[in-house]
Amino acid sequence: MEERKTSERIDWNRAPADTPVCPEKDIYLRDIVQAILEGYETREDIMQILALEESDEGVSELQEILEIFVPVINAWRAGSCGGNCASCGGSCGG
């Protein structure tokens, strides 16, 4: 898989599940989303459950990923999200 350049910004709203977040530890977006689904919703929770260190590549992306996926997953759990992000532009507030 092609290595991500440090300056390259990823649009996490549109990133596929197999997008590497921390390639050195083989952690992908799907791993973070799965952790959120399991109830880990803070940066610290995710870092602990996935054994990430502050110095690991991609850790700086965690907060942005959480800000996108936690509200969507919580809305889905509450039944207020139909799952069709095209209909609401992905901006559901719960």
pLDDT digits (tens, 9 = 90+) for 62-90: 999 999 999 989 888 887 665 555 545 55
Determine the residue type at 5. K
Distance CA 69, CA 85 (A): 12
What phi and psi values does residue 21 have, to the nearest 5 degrees?
-105, -45
Structure confidence by residue, pLDDT tens digits, 8-56: 789 999 999 999 999 999 999 999 999 999 999 999 999 999 999 999 9
Helix H or strand E segment including 27: strand 27-28
**Can you give the residue ranges of every domain in the chain?**
20-88
Q: How is residue 49 written in tokens?
A: 């459950």
